[in-house]
Structure 1
Amino acid sequence: MKISVVIPTFNSASFIKNTMDSVLAQSYSAYEILVLDDGSTDDTVLILRSYGSLITVATQKNQGVAHARNTLAKLAQGDLVAFLDHDDLWHPSYLAIQAKAFSLHKNAAAVFTKHITFKNDTELANWRESAPSLTIEVIPSDQFIRRYNRSTGTFYSMSFCVVPKMILTSLGEEPFPLTAAGVDDFFLCNQFPLYGPVVLTHGELVAYRLSPNAQSLDQMKNFGLILCHYEHLERVFRAQNRVDLLRLVDCEYASKQRSYGKILFCLSRKTEARKHFLDSLLRSWSPVSMAKSLALLVLSFLPPPFTLRGQPRYRG
């Protein structure tokens, strides 16, 4: 089974060597390692070139990570495409265990793995030597929609994800939609249920680098971007005539509207918050979802101490 490793980079000179070394230390060798630098202005490319023929390096002017991922997905020639962000690290057995998961579940639309978080590379010595869990879980399509959209971290990075090349090709020129830059992976992952179940390997096989400037911490920005482009997902599910899954997608859309509304309410933007609560009520298919939306709408009009408590903008 051939695995293409694809890595978009941008101004990553301070950590790209550790990332690349973690790929080259894999017990299951990659078929190819493709790196696309997105217009770095530091020494990133110079460091990458020092690896010689071990990796393939390409460069482009700065166009964003979504564009870089699309280009890399198109260039990849392996049966599977393993994505890795430029500041994250893989356990030495990452590719071996992900390949095993695909060999056991050939109809999987994607395989994710669990992870640890870190701020400093010195925290990882014991992790690299650890023997990760080999437990493999198969998540049916309908369950994945719920779990992906409600997860607080299990699926939130492409560094945890391996996808069949065939599926990326079937998604067209932009499996990562450029119009949704910043949350482009959200739209890719929500389409996996159209192609089959998703597999989760329970070993902590990825070290995810925490950054104080990470966009994932800004919930208002993330929810706003997702809501602005959610119709893209709806069109895809309608085109596939998957009404059963579309109803689940709409319920998750309503849930994100509620979360966005609570953030707006916390920022004293109450009129906007109420509009999202009302829209989520009208969109919901589920009685439970409708009840939640209605409760938030009513609470937003009550005086203290009965009024709604908002949701903070930044995730701690």
Structure 2
Amino acid sequence: MKQLTIAICNYNYERYLTAAIDSALAQDYPATKVMVVDDGSTDGSREIIEGYGKRVLFLGKRNGGQVSAYNHAIASLDTEYVIFLDSDDVLYPSAVSEVMRFFEHGTWAKVQFRLDVMDNEGVLTGAYVPHSEPPQECGELLRSGWLYPSPPASGNAYRVSALKQIFPVPEEGVNRYGADFYAIYGVALTGPIATVPKSLGGYRVHNAGSGTVSFANSEQLTKAPRAFSMRWAILRNIVKVRLGIELPGTFLDFSHEKATFCSSIYRATLFRRWHWMLLDSGNYLHTIVANPFWSLKKKLGTLVLSSLCLVPYSPLSDFAVRYIANPLARRRVSRR
């Protein structure tokens, strides 16, 4: 039986760490190993990890950021497959069994699956990510600059040999975070991607309040566009040197453009909203109209919602932005 490691990279998440480790140990696939990389936590994380004894492989290191933790974990892996589970997320008991069914009958570089969205207390919200499924050969679209729909870090299982074609990733300077970006998109250039059409874990959203427009846990909305552009540049260099693949200078991704849209439009004046939509919305609209992963219905719906940002009534405009930006807002509306 082929082995898979669940690698949990943790930094100061003692509140959630036990749930993550317990979910990894509860897998019904017998050949599952559990590794915890602690990135120099200063809370009670180390004591929690040590409490599991030999049931988990504990790798402690000095604080260096998420990229450093991924580099360390990948260099230490001795299994053929791995899932990187964020220390505030959980996996359902059949997660490893489900992804191994794909790996055992194909040459997949990555098997991805949906994650149910949880709030800060672990209560399911009724939302899940992602809402679109990529084609198996999404690497071809990636070569044209299109970032394919992927779940967050915890919803991806990788062939380790594919990861090692991309990692280690430079970890100095501002590139401390976003390790999952390089794993998710870099691996797609090494082989085909498979999708399990159901949820196999829970994704915790810490800013799930109804007033927020941000959906990403890791970065503030205004910082996301700059961070993505930096990572794309680094990924371009990595795959050029290691894989001999030339990626375009810029990428296309609705999630990225959505962040720019929201930070520019939300709670802005009517003049500012119209000015942005008329003069600066080209890339945003292009990632809707030309999106190769979306249905016509989804494209039209997003365009209609986006147009509501031009109405004089600012509460309606702000609601439209929240609806586009945050899937949790959509669930709240449906429950009324």
TM-score of the superposition, structure 1-length normalised? 0.72
1:61 aligns with: 62
- Structure 1: unaligned runs, 5 residues or longer: 125-135, 290-302
Q: Separation in 1 of the partners of 2:161 and 2:170?
A: 12
1:300 aligns with: none
CA displacement, residues 68-110 of structure 1 (integer Å, 9 cap, x when unaligned): 121011111101111111111111111111111111222x111
The 8 Å contact of residues 8 and 68 in structure 1, kept in 2 or not, is answered as yes
- Could you say which structure has the higher helix fraction? 1
- Deviation (angstroms), 1:19: 1.4
Q: Separation in 2 of the partners of 1:230 and 1:68?
A: 20
Amino acid of the residue matched to residue 11 of structure 1? N
The 8 Å contact of residues 134 and 148 in structure 2, kept in 1 or not, is answered as no
Q: Separation in 2 of the partners of 1:143 and 1:176?
A: 27
Q: Separation in 1 of the partners of 2:219 and 2:23?
A: 26
- Deviation (angstroms), 1:253: 6.5
The 8 Å contact of residues 258 and 277 in structure 1, kept in 2 or not, is answered as no
Distance change in 2, residues 1:148/1:2 (3 Å): farther
The 8 Å contact of residues 84 and 157 in structure 2, kept in 1 or not, is answered as yes
Q: Does the residue aligned with 1:191 lie in a helix, a strand or coil?
A: helix
- Deviation (angstroms), 1:205: 0.5
The 8 Å contact of residues 220 and 260 in structure 1, kept in 2 or not, is answered as yes
2:222 aligns with: 220
Q: 1:231 pairs with 230, 233, 236, which one? A: 233
- Deviation (angstroms), 1:235: 2.9
Q: Separation in 2 of the partners of 1:70 and 1:3?
A: 17
Amino acid of the residue matched to residue 252 of structure 2? E
Q: Separation in 2 of the partners of 1:99 and 1:242?
A: 29
Q: Separation in 1 of the partners of 2:195 and 2:233?
A: 28
Deviates more, 1:186-195 or 1:141-150: 141-150
Q: 1:1-316 counterparts in 2 under 5 A?
A: 1-106=2-107, 108-119=108-119, 120-121=121-122, 139-142=136-139, 145=142, 149=147, 151=149, 155-174=150-169, 179-212=174-207, 215-216=217-218, 218-239=220-241, 240-242=243-245, 246-247=247-248, 250-252=250-252, 256=256, 260=260, 263-264=263-264, 277=280, 315=326
Distance change in 2, residues 1:178/1:58 (3 Å): farther
Q: Does the residue aligned with 1:171 lie in a helix, a strand or coil?
A: coil
Q: Separation in 1 of the partners of 2:103 and 2:199?
A: 17
- Structure 2: unaligned runs, 5 residues or longer: 126-132, 209-215, 292-309, 330-336
The 8 Å contact of residues 111 and 162 in structure 1, kept in 2 or not, is answered as yes
Q: Separation in 2 of the partners of 1:122 and 1:266?
A: 28
Q: Separation in 1 of the partners of 2:260 and 2:32?
A: 42
The 8 Å contact of residues 145 and 252 in structure 2, kept in 1 or not, is answered as no
- Deviation (angstroms), 1:242: 3.8
The 8 Å contact of residues 23 and 92 in structure 2, kept in 1 or not, is answered as yes
The 8 Å contact of residues 71 and 167 in structure 2, kept in 1 or not, is answered as no
Q: Separation in 2 of the partners of 1:111 and 1:165?
A: 12
- Deviation (angstroms), 1:241: 4.6
Q: Separation in 2 of the partners of 1:16 and 1:259?
A: 29
Q: When the two structures are aligned, how many residues end up with a matched partner? A: 284
The 8 Å contact of residues 146 and 252 in structure 2, kept in 1 or not, is answered as no
TM-score of the superposition, structure 2-length normalised? 0.68
2:304 aligns with: none
* RMSD between aligned residues: 4.3
